[in-house]
Structure formats: structure tokens, C-alpha cells
Structure 1
Amino acid sequence: MTREMNNQNVREDAIPHPLIHYRGPREARTEKSPLLILAGLNEGGWPQALKPDPWLSRPMRLAAGLTLPERRVGLAAHDFQQAIASPQVILTRARRDAEAETIPSRWLNRLVNLLGGLPAQRGKEALAGMRDRGQHWLDLAALQGRARDKRPAALRPSPIPPPPALKVMSVTEVRTLIRDPYAVYARRVLGLNRLPPLRAEPDPAERGNVLHAIVQGFLQARGDATDPATLKAVLMRKTDEVLEAEVPWPSARLFWRARIAGIADQLVKDDPRGCGPEVCPP
């Protein structure tokens, strides 16, 4: 049922202006409008490209009494013929889409070629008149996109950092200087630093600080205990205390605790007395 409903088109009448109505080719026949715009006259859009049938070939469709895919092209051509016979018609297309240059619809090409090949019937003059009338609307659209007030363009920024600002640089800053010199200028000369995010997130620096605090707390609380089970219990207790106090993110807290629990056995086996006096208790 869902697949069958997805194959049906439900047209909603968007009303950007009370005098403008969007209609399909079949709906447009039922309404008489003084001006009809046939838009999207690009190959692949009107007519639409035929989808290959992976199950039935053309002889199989004929044997089964089914219509050929080309019938859709014929119906679309019939719709186009009915619409272009309106009293006043505008034929439009986009020369480029989001990917590449577009190709005019085959019907638009045939109409242009037909008028260009009828000199005795004044076909060339009719085609030139059509293009002149269309150019009027293109000129109006160009005026809408043109700025009313012309102001001189601002000069291109060309920062030249003073020598003291670049006297000492790290290797990563040299790479940044080559790729984005304005970032180095903003940080070294203007003294601008990136603002902290509005919502703090666990980053590698925060994780490193938490791990250092856990190890330091473990070394200070282990005392003279040598039993692996006791040492592991002390380590996990300090882990829970530090995570509860320093890590406000529940998911990161659980993930980091699992990482500590995974290496706890190896940590308690190693001799922790090789640390400096500033970390271990006297």
C-alpha cells in the first residue's frame, strides 16, 4: 500500500501571489489563463527520462498486453502540444542545474529548428520576435538583481605581521601560516583567541586531565597496600570520585570508566613507586 501511494502525485497549490497558480500539464487544460508559462524545458525534465525495467523487456510487455515506456513520452508530448496552443505562452528553461550545463528539451529544439527552416513562411522573423519578447523579461529579471546604489568595493585585506609576532613559531603554526595566514595574524598580532563553545564537550585535553587526576589520586591513596584486589578497589574508587567531580557528561563518564576498568589489572601489577615526590606521598 505504501509503495503504491508513493507512486501517486499529490499537488498542493502554493500561493505566493493570488494571480499566480502552479498547475500540472493536465490540470492546466481545465483552467483558462491569459498567460501560461511552460517551465523546465530541459532534456530529462520534460520529457522525463525513461526508467529501465529490470524485469520485463519490450517484447515481453507487448506479449503481456502492457504499454511500452515510450508511451509516457507520447503523453508528455501531447500535454506539451495542448499547452503551447494557449493564447499567450512563455517557454523557459534553466541553462545550468546544480551539477552541469543542461540540454534544451527535444521539443524546444524541434520548434526552433522548424521556425528557422521556414523562410518562406517568415519563420525566422517569428523566431526572432519570440526571442525579443523573451529578452524583455530577462532584462527585467537582471534589473531586479542589480544593486540600486553603487559603492566602491572595499580593498582586499593584506595583513603584514610585524617581525616580533613571527619571531618564534611552532611547526604546526608554520603549516597554518602557509595555508591560512589570516589565522596567524588574528592570533599573533590582533591577540584574538577562539571562544569556548557554548556547550562544552569532552575533548582529548579534558580526558588527559581526568586520567592524570585519577592516577595521582590512586598513588596518594594506595598507602602501603600490595594486594592486587585492594589496589584495584582503590583505583576504581578514585576513578568514580574523579569522574563524578570532573566529568559532567554521563556517556563520557561511563565510557572512560570502562577504559580504566579495562587496564586496572595491568596498572596494579606495575610498581607505582617510580613516580616523583611531587606526585607520590612522602
Structure 2
Amino acid sequence: MLALLTIALASRKIIDISLRPLTRIETTAEAIAAGDLSARLPDAKPNTEVGHLVTSLNQMLSRIEESFALRIASEDKLRRFVADASHELRTPLTAIRGFAELHRQGAVQGEAKTAELVQRIEKESIRMSTLVEDLLLLARLDQARELQRDPVDVKTLINEVVASAQAAKSTHPISVNHADGDVCILGDSQRIHQVIANLVANAQSHTPEGTAVNISVSQNEDGITISVTDNGPGLSEADQAKVFERFYRADPSRVRSGLDGSGLGLSIVDAVMGAHGGTVSVKSELGKGATFTLFFPTVEM
């Protein structure tokens, strides 16, 4: 009888020990259910079934935590984007409303002043229209819609960009270094034109008048590289890390000339390059200018 009792007690003890990891699993599950996604199961002997279960569950919990973190970050980014877009749209709308109110109240007299007021309203409406067009383009690119894919003559396209940029703003001399031979990209000509034009406009807008801008093109077996370089004030490391974010404004002490853009120019560059399977990067030092580099990987025509 004593032997049976001893066996029973020993068996119970063994069962309790073997079930201890399951009790820990239950405790961890309760912590996760309460919202603690960082909770993990304590390590168990890896050569046991419970040990294999603990390892698998901890891996699964890590992936769940990462997924939730990405979702929260995405939601926060979307909220900031909507708030910034609303603010950017509200600014020209408020200006247009104010100018219209001045005209309605008769505060502006004379043909010259009235013409100036109308011109201001027109500029603000153009700014708002540009912002809306940029937002729509980003929305289409976010939906991963297929871009038009045709052979694009890079030399011709860059020459067109330079001609347009100098016609719009002749304050910055622009030079071009073309690669030898024909240079072609398989992609959307209009979007690639926009990407290069945005980089040139960015250089013109954030550097003093007279600052030289250079566009250089090179190619090898890996792909085609297009760089836009200026010798302006440059960017800090903090600005370089965020410069492609939507509505991000670099250090306000940087030179700005003319009307501010929509704040989406470099974001569009990044999105268009992603849609082409390419990349955009920036290299800069304060006081030593900046270089934005586009890379289009080789694609069979």
C-alpha cells in the first residue's frame, strides 16, 4: 500500500513538472490577450516536444508583434499624410478666399491693383491644382498600377528637361555629361521626364541664384545611372534620412527661391523609381552641395 502511495505521489510530481511549461504557455497567452505583445514563453528543453512547441510559438509571437508594429506605423503615417494634405490644401484655399473677400468688400481699387489681386488668386489656384495632381499621382502609384513600358531615349529626354528648366528659370546654369553611345530605358517616358525635372527643380529651388547644376549619365551591364548634382548648401544627415517622405520640409534655413512646391516632388521621384524597379538615393554634406542619383536596373527590351 505504501509502495502504491509512493508511486502515485511520484507520478503526480512528474505530471506537475511536465505540465509546468503548459502552465507558462497559459500565463503568456493571458498576457498577450491583455495586450502585451512582447510577452514570450520561457525557454524549454529544445529536444522535447514542449521545447519544439515553445520555439515555434515564440517565433509566431515575434512575427505577430512585428505585423502589429508595421500596421500601427502605417496607420500613423496615413494619419500624418491626411493631416498634412489637408493643411497644404487649406493654405491656398484660405488665400483665395481672403483675396476674393477683399475684392467683394471693395478694398482693392484701380485696374492695376485688381489685376494684381487676380494674379495672386490664379497663382494660389495653380498651386492647389498642382498639389491635387501630385496627390492623385501618388495614389495611383501606391495602388501599384502598371506603368507604360516603352523604350525611352535618355539623351533626348534629358535635353528636353534641361530646355524646359532653363526656359522656366534661367538663374541656374545647367550642364550635362552624357554617356557614350545610345542610352535607353524601358519605362514610362512621361514619368521618367517628371522624375528628372523634379530633381532639377529641387536643385533650383534650394540653392542660391547662379548655383551650377550638373546632370550626368552613365551605364554598365547592371543598369543606367542618372545623377543630378548641385554645389549649394547641401543637406544634413537628418534631412537626408527623411527627404523622400511626403510633405517633409528640410531645414527652413536652406535657400528657397520662388513659390514653394507641393512638398511631394521628391516623394514622387521615389514612388516612380520604385514602380520602375529602380532606386533613388541622396549623398550630401553641409556646405558641399548634394547629389541625387537615379538607378534603373537593366531590363530586356
- Determine which structure has the larger helix proportion and give its number: 2
Query: Which of 1 and 2 has higher RCO (CA within 8 Å, sep 6+)?
Result: 2
- TM-score under structure 2 normalisation? 0.18
The structure in which a higher percent of residues are strand is 2
Structure 1 length as normaliser, TM-score?
A: 0.19
